[in-house]
């Protein structure tokens, strides 16, 4: 049995070290200007040494489980986290969720101002695709990875889910609508991040299908736990305000199923995620523990 916590921290440490070095390298590639220097500071504030790093960890672990070299997946992992971070910056803006804190610190627009936060998000989104071109893999894999990530992040994926999430405020959305919203808003980027690892490793169709099934289930379970924590959590642990869904009168798993009903649904999804990993045998042990850890998390 693997030591899950140790392995998870190894991935996080590797990714954080790579991220810091890579941002410095990218900044040095451009002519020095006050604008680029300020944007580097704003991007770094939200990106470096923060967050649970779920998406990079999934990318690296699926690459390893499929027989690949995780170091060749680092650029893909960083691209996915850049897009995730841009989405959080924009999600916190006054025109969206209007949150003052993220990950225990002032949100980007509270630190740098509305316009600069908007631009920091834009910068991370565009930089993500440049970052993918530096991956030490065959060009065909890079093209496939760009296609997967752009589809998941754009108007057919995460952005569409965000639009639906806003529509679900002050409305009586049913459980199917909430689930579809979350499949797009949260699930698509989780799925894509893991698929980038499969692509880097050259995984076969069977393992890619297992990856998609696993991620589809943990993505929904993750969002359900988020909804529960918005009711039962506290700022000290979460690093962000709680009760925001209730304030916006948003339809959530908790409002539709109750806390206990939502927990049971998350447990069912987690069990389905574990079943999807059969094809990986013992190589799927870390992913099994990750699914359980995400379902049981308190922050």
Q: What is the pLDDT along the chain (299 residues), one digit of tens a residue?
A: 579 999 999 999 999 999 999 999 988 887 778 888 999 999 999 999 778 899 999 999 999 999 999 999 999 999 999 999 999 999 999 998 889 988 788 999 999 999 999 999 999 999 999 999 999 999 999 999 999 999 999 999 999 999 999 888 877 889 999 999 999 999 999 999 999 999 999 999 999 999 999 999 999 999 999 999 988 866 555 555 566 666 667 889 998 999 999 999 999 999 999 999 999 999 999 999 999 999 998 77
Class of domain 4-296: mainly alpha
pTM across the whole model: 0.93
- Residue 110 has a CB neighbour count (10 Å cut-off) of 15
Output the CA–CA distances (angstroms, integers) from residue 160 to 45, 57, 163, 173, 188, in the order listed.
27, 25, 5, 16, 10
CA angle (97 as vertex; 110, 222 as ends), nearest 5: 110
What are the residue boundaries of the structural domains of the chain, listed by start? 4-296
Report, in angstroms and rounded to the nearest whole number, the Rg of the chain calculated over CA atoms: 18
Task: Give the Cβ contact number of residue 91 at 10 Å.
Answer: 17
């Amino acid at each position: 049995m693997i030591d899950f916590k140790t392995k998870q921290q190894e991935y996080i440490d590797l990714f954080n070290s790579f991220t810091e070095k890579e941002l410095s390298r990218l900044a040095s590639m451009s002519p020095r200007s006050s604008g680029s220097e300020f944007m580097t500071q704003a991007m770094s504030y939200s990106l470096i040494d923060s967050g649970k790093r779920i998406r990079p960890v999934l990318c690296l672990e699926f690459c390893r489980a499929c027989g690949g070299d995780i170091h060749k997946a680092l650029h893909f992992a960083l691209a996915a986290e850049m897009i995730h971070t841009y989405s959080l910056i924009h999600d916190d803006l006054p025109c969206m969720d209007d949150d003052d804190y993220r990950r225990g610190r002032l949100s980007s627009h509270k630190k740098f101002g509305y316009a600069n936060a908007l631009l920091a998000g834009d910068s991370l989104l565009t930089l993500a695709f440049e970052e993918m071109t530096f991956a030490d893999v065959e060009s065909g894999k890079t093209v496939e990875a760009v296609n997967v990530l752009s589809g998941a992040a754009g108007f057919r994926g995460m952005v569409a889910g965000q639009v639906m999430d806003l529509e679900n405020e002050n409305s009586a959305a049913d459980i199917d609508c909430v689930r579809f919203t979350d499949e797009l808003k949260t699930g698509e980027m989780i799925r894509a991040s893991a698929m980038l690892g499969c692509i880097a490793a050259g995984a076969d169709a069977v393992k890619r299908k297992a990856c998609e099934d696993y991620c589809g289930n943990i993505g929904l379970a993750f969002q359900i736990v988020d909804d529960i924590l918005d009711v039962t959590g506290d700022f000290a642990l979460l690093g962000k305000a709680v009760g925001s869904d209730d304030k916006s009168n948003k339809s959530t798993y908790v409002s539709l199923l109750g806390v206990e009903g939502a927990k049971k649904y998350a447990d069912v999804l987690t069990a389905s995620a574990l079943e999807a990993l059969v094809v990986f045998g013992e190589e799927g042990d870390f992913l099994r523990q990750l699914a359980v850890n995400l379902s049981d998390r308190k922050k």
